[in-house]
Structure 1
Amino acid sequence: MSEVKNYSRNKDFNEATRVQMPALVHLSRLGYKYFGKITEDMKGIKYDGDTNILLEVFKDQFKKLNPAHAGEVEEVLRSIRQELDNDDLGKSFYKRLVAISPTKLIDFENINNNTFHYTAEFTCKNGQDEFRPDITLFVNGLPLVFIEVKKPNNKGGMVAESTRMNNQRFPNKKFRRFINITQLMIFSNNMEYETLGGITPIQGAFYCTGARDTTKFNCFREENPANADIAPFIKDFPYLEINQDMEKQILSDFNCQVIHTSPEYQTNLNENTPTNRIITSMCSKQRLLFLLKYGFAYVRIDREIDGKIESLDQKHIMRYQQFFATLAVIEKLDEGIKSGVIWHTQGSGKTALSYHLTYALTDYYAKQNKVAKFYFIVDRLDLLEQASSEFEARGLEVKTASRQKRTDGSIQNKSIPRRE
């Protein structure tokens, strides 16, 4: 959470001028529209104070995407408010978010049918408790992403930001509705990943999704098979030109006009800064919609505590390796390739990838009027049991095939994951 102040040329630049303002302007290159600064006196008019949904944008888009249900928009809004108060990590809302019938909130097939906005310092408030993300992104008026930024070499690095989320925001029940509606959270101090001799990076750009108590920050590394200086997706992205009037409005709204011509600000506008890279990689329109549709899983874990079985709900987001593997599978299918190998290391999330693929490929083949069926073939019983429990924990129906002998005398077991 940053404090935006009026800066003179003699004062040090901080996270707002080094990272936040350049990131806001960068979003316009991706086709997002700056909504303007949102203040509390706009509550009930421009935005819904219970959910931070942009009211006019949401209603207009709902009617556009659901012309036969246009009269239900207020009822749907009331239902969303109720769902976001549920203690289910936003599962009921997420089901509504990705649904295509009887009504839809997002058009996942036609990107241009959706609207993409952003703002900064938009307070999430419930009673006397509040927090204020540095940047909030909206799809059709829904605040689905927030970005927190810090200046480089900030005290405590990104570990301090993780601690704040896990110790203050996630456990606070008054923030539950805001955590439930936010699908993607990005954190960056605009530095390259640095572990300082350890295993877990303490500097860089990270992402996560909501949690009931604690979560882990994930690294994101853009696909770069040739190890080029700038990854191809970042280098070749069709960026829009910066609208100078919009840029001036942003800097004016947050009292940062003085930085406009400074070398440091101009340097941090570069598309290849760590913060701008992760924004392009994860928030460019097509990728964000893909991630929203296929990148999340609700996992129910049963564990024994003091002799009793207790259930724990978690919300998981794709790791970047799973994200790119899913995209690669679809790309190869489009090329007519019908078989292939995804090389994984131990503990890298093979089963989770299989889960995400069942959804992505079911939709892929449904567009061809084909019904997909998935077989998960393992080579030992313990892996069969592990895979089955992992699929079931994510809500898939699993049918286990009988054991079969191969011609070489070995045993083959088949675990068949099915969608609900």
Structure 2
Amino acid sequence: MTHYVTFMSQTHNENSRVKIPAVLHLMRLGYDYLSLKNANWDRQTNIFPEIFVDSLCRINPDLPPDDARRLLADIRLELDNEDLGQKFYERLTNQSGGKKLIDFQNFDNNSFHVVTELPCINGDEAFRPDIALLVNGMPLVFIEVKKPNNKGGIGEERERMGKRAKNPKFRRFINITQFMIFSNNMEYDDGATEPAQGAFYASSACGKPVFNYFREEHKLNLTELLDTLSDDLENNVLQDNNLPVIKHSPEFISNKSPDTPTNRILTSLLCRERLSFLLQHGLTYVKASQGLVQKHIMRYPQLFATLAIEKHLANGGKKGVIWHTQGSGKTALAYYNTRYLTHYYAKQGIVPKFYFIVDRLDLLKQAQREFTARDLVVHTIDSREAFAADIKSAQTLHNHAGKAEITVVNIQKFQDDPDVVARNDYDLAIQRVYFLDEVHRSYNPKGSFLANLNQSDVNAVKIGLTGTPLIGVTAGNVNTRELFGDYIHKYYYNASIADGYTLRLIREEIGSRYKAQLQEALAQLEIEKGSFDRKEIYAHPHFVHPMLDYILDDFAKFRKTNQDESLGAMVVCDSAEQARQLFEHFQTASDHNFTAALILHDVGTKEERDQWVKDFKAGKTDILFVYNMLLTGFDAPRLKKLYLGRLIKAHNLLQTLTRVNRTYKSYRYGYVVDFADIEREFDKTNRAYWDELSNEFGRRNRQLQPAIQNRRRNRTGNC
């Protein structure tokens, strides 16, 4: 474990070991140190009025100082809103009207300052962030630091920040803060359940902030990014913080290194280019359930994927694949890119029109919900005629408010229609950008929607999204790269597990007694029926009844062990008939208190199936019995136990397993009970994907960690 402190004394606390070195590093990044002694700031907002007015008059040459002061009064009122600062953020990023708060076109034209211990006071309540960054006099970012190996770890700050965020007296200070950085100057412990050590970033929140890891993917030129700091400037900071005694200590000199965990994340997020990017494009407000508003910040793989897309387009690329593991936020990535690519094309005088292509109605609805929650205006299309009419239109915006828009297209009914669009359907004055979801599916490259898309608008940008691309050559499948282009960016499951976005899985073998029961049942059925149909045997009551008994007993013990009645389960059946028989036996069994739903394409109406799925997500249903449905594109974090009743191969196996890998509460694992002996197939598939990564990206990937741990069980009872 690496950390950057050794000397223990009263002078070497978190201030001298982390905070002051961080302040000096920020000064090297171009932030001017501002002493609070004799400084003047507005105690209600912590905005520095002189810097604010001077900066706004500089970046808005026609703005009178009195108008800038009135603007400050307006901001003070906006920061009182119970909206997590959304109204203020809209003002902050607005670049029209002659009243810009930040000049994003010439970011260096703004004022940048760093202060320490800026007090956030309202009545008798107060807190003092260790470091605050001012942009044009506004405290938009703050940094909390702890010494390495501090009691409670960096998670202690997360708890403390959660309490502050819930305090209405601190509303203005939370609302003006765009994002925060927390560090105890240690390297990450990738195996930790909760972030305890390292340097993390988070957007402001109504409660506990969500800690995000940051792993730099670019080789930054520190010679260009970091200025040389004079002795006089360093001495002024040390003197102002009553720490001149540490100047020549080896520990202090070591802690000033750009390579410490704290200073690395400061460089990555707070150098001018990245700060401008995050403030303008990396933050979004999301309408959650019950009308609550959340503030999200780009995850680092989304950030680097966005920059990779920009580079790809700048180099003349028109298509490519984003290979990001399931659960990593690919729909959110598409949303962020509607914003960023609008900005990218605007600089070229081009108006883009965005499409999000799916091949199932439930995925259309899911994408519509996610985009709408982020305040995108969403149009939906699920017919050939509507799609043809849309692409003939030169209109890029349909709403009168001028809000950003995206069109979500479900091609399920017309993906193989050779006449879906004609070559002259497209208006060449518009730059169309297509995000194609789930491109691991078997798109037919000839005589299909995709072929027509390629032929009809050769200038269109097509970006495929998948967590499991089709690799190699198999019967009936086309290699994803051959069809959609090279990988633009990748983020595999081992990184997602290390970053806490998805969970590692535990594979549980079924108990030896139950195996014996099944073998006995199969042998008896073979004697009775002679030559038999496999699906018929596996759906026979002699097989189904002990299987269900095992599942119910195991799931009851799973909930009891975890003391959590909210946990859900899914049974992936060998056939649709087995699913029916399991569900029928479930309904007649009287020795359990569980509820369940049977999800098959020919059971119930579409509306009823949708409601059953919603009930499961809401915790009203305990167990789902499925065959082919819900194995992809189904996201229910409470689903933590998967009973796998048949062998699924290649990318379909990974898709199925990841139904239980979503983060939920403080669980470290998703659990797979293996009735089908998937171990060999998983190892083969996983190695094929890792070879694909290695061939594409060389040896830059961190060592592959097992996504599935095996647990062999031999217990009494029904096992």
Given residue 78 of structure 2, which amino acid in structure 1 is its aligned partner? E
Aligned twin of 1:353: 333
2-structure distance, mates of 1:130, 1:352: 35
One of 79, 84, 105 as aligned partner of 1:84: 79
Match of 2:173 in 1: 178
Closer, same or farther in 2 for the Cα pair 1:271/1:239, shift >3 Å? same
- Counterpart of 1:380? 360
Q: Which residue, 137, 141, 144 being the options, matches 1:141? A: 137
1: CA distance, partners of 2:225 / 2:62: 35
For residues 327 and 407 of structure 1, what CA distance do their matches in structure 2 show? 33
**Correspondence for 1:203:** 197
Give, as a single letter, the amino acid of the residue that structure 1 aligns with 2:277: F
What's 1:227 paired with?
none
Separation (CA, whole Å) in 1 of partners of 2:192 and 2:310: 36
State the Cα distance separating 1:176 from its structure 2 match.
0.6
**Structure 1 residue 198 displacement after superposition:** 3.2
Determine whether 1:164 maps to 2:160. Answer: yes
| Matched AA of 1:242 | L
- Is residue 2:406 matched to residue 1:407? no
**1:114 lines up with 2:110 in the alignment:** yes
* Partner SS for 1:242: coil
Q: What's 1:398 paired with?
A: 378
Question: How big is each residue's C-alpha offset from its partner over 1:77-125, in whole Å with a ceiling of 9 and x where there is no partner?
Answer: 0110000011000000000000011110111111221111101111111
- Partner SS, residue 347 of structure 1: coil
How has the CA–CA distance of structure 1 residues 79 and 138 changed in structure 2, closer, same or farther, with 3 Å as cutoff?
same
1:11 to 2:6 alignment: no
1:25-174 aligned at under 5 Å gives the runs 25-36=24-35, 38-39=36-37, 42=39, 46-70=40-64, 71-102=66-97, 103-166=99-162, 168-174=163-169
CA shift, 1:201, in A, is: 3.0
Which residue matches 1:3? none
- Farther off after superposition, 15-24 or 328-337: 328-337
- Indicate the residue corresponding to 1:292 in structure 2: 279
Match for 1:108: what amino acid? Answer: F
Q: Superposition RMSD on alpha carbons, in Å?
A: 2.0
- Structure with more contact order per residue of length (Cα contacts < 8 Å, sep ≥ 6): 1
Q: CA deviation at 1:12?
A: 5.8
1:47-97 CA distance string (max 9 Å, x none): 111111111111001111112222411111011000001100000000000
Identity level (%): 53
What is the CA–CA distance in structure 2 between the aligned matches of 1:343 and 1:109, rounded to whole Å?
32
What is the match of residue 341 of structure 1?
Answer: 321
Residue type of the partner of 1:136?
Answer: A
Q: CA deviation at 1:326?
A: 1.1
Q: Does structure 1 conserve the Cα–Cα contact (< 8 Å) formed by 2:11 and 2:246?
A: no
Q: Where do 4+ consecutive residues of structure 1 move more than 4 Å? A: 234-237, 408-414
Kindly tell me the number of residue pairs found equivalent between the two proteins: 386
Match of 2:186 in 1: 191
Q: 1:332 aligns with which of 287, 290, 312?
A: 312
1:406 is aligned with what amino acid? Q
- Alignment-mate amino acid for residue 329 of structure 2: G
- Residue of structure 2 in register with 1:273 after alignment: 260
Secondary structure of the residue that 2:201 maps to in structure 1? Answer: strand
Shift in CA distance, 382/57, structure 1 to aligned 2, threshold 3 Å: same
Residues 246-268 of structure 1: CA distance to partner in whole angstroms, max 9, x if unpaired?
Answer: 11111111111100000000000
Query: What is the alpha-carbon distance in structure 2 between the residues aligned to residue 31 and residue 283 of structure 1?
Result: 10
SS in 2 for 1:340: strand
Q: For 1:384, give the aligned amino acid.
A: L
Q: Distance in 1 between matches of 2:87 and 2:415?
A: 44
The 2-side partners of 1:338 and 1:106 are apart by 33
Give the 3 Å change call, closer, same or farther, for CA 234–120 of structure 1 in structure 2: farther
Q: Is the 8 A contact 1:234 1:280 kept in 2?
A: no
* Other-structure match for 1:319: 299
Match of 1:363 among 338, 343, 347: 343
CA separation of 1:9/1:88 partners in 2, compared to 1, >3 Å: closer, same or farther? closer
Q: Is the 8 A contact 2:21 2:252 kept in 1?
A: yes
SS of 2:170's equivalent in the other structure is helix
Q: Is the 8 A contact 1:297 1:315 kept in 2?
A: yes
Question: Residue 192 and residue 341 in structure 1: after superposition, are their counterparts in 2 closer, same or farther (change >3 A)?
Answer: same
